[in-house]
Amino acid sequence: MSWIDEVKWDDKGLVPVIAQEQGTGDVLMFAWMNREALALTAERGQAVYFSRSRNKLWHKGEESGHFQQVHAIRMDCDNDVVLLTITQLGHEPGIACHTGRHSCFFQKLENGAWTPAEPVLKDPSKIYE
């Protein structure tokens, strides 16, 4: 059995993936991978995800230039979630979110409302020109 066969893929052949920044421990994003995306990530040392909305592989940074260098690939105890330890490249500080923020988890619940808790580091219209 190959290491990739040990992953518990969902009924669509996907596994949830968390990208965590090496050094800070910040959770930068959540995405999905299929078998090919996980194999390419392991082979290249850069994150490759599967876009459910576009129904295709998505090499993180292919449009924005904000690539993710992968340092470690881990799997949880149930073999159904993957954790990537990454360095976010392409901008300092790193931008992982398509909104131009460091993390996709920038909204914080305060007084019954979702409030942006992180600044926009780069205007998204400038990222995706």
Closest CA to 21 of 83, 96, 71, 87: 87
Strand-pair category, 48-51 with 56-59: antiparallel
Q: Was 11 annotated as part of a binding site?
A: no
Q: Was 78 annotated as part of a binding site?
A: yes
Other CB atoms within a 10 A radius of the CB of residue 9 amount to 16
Q: How far apart are CA 118 and CA 129, in angstroms?
A: 23
User: Do 57 and 51 touch, CB atoms closer than 8 A?
Assistant: yes
Q: Was 104 annotated as part of a binding site?
A: yes
Which tokens belong to 42?
Answer: 């392991």
Q: Was 26 annotated as part of a binding site?
A: no
- List, as residue ranges, the binding site for Zn(2+): 77, 97, 104
- List, as residue ranges, the binding site for Mg(2+): 76, 78, 80
- List, as residue ranges, the binding site: 76-78, 80, 97, 104
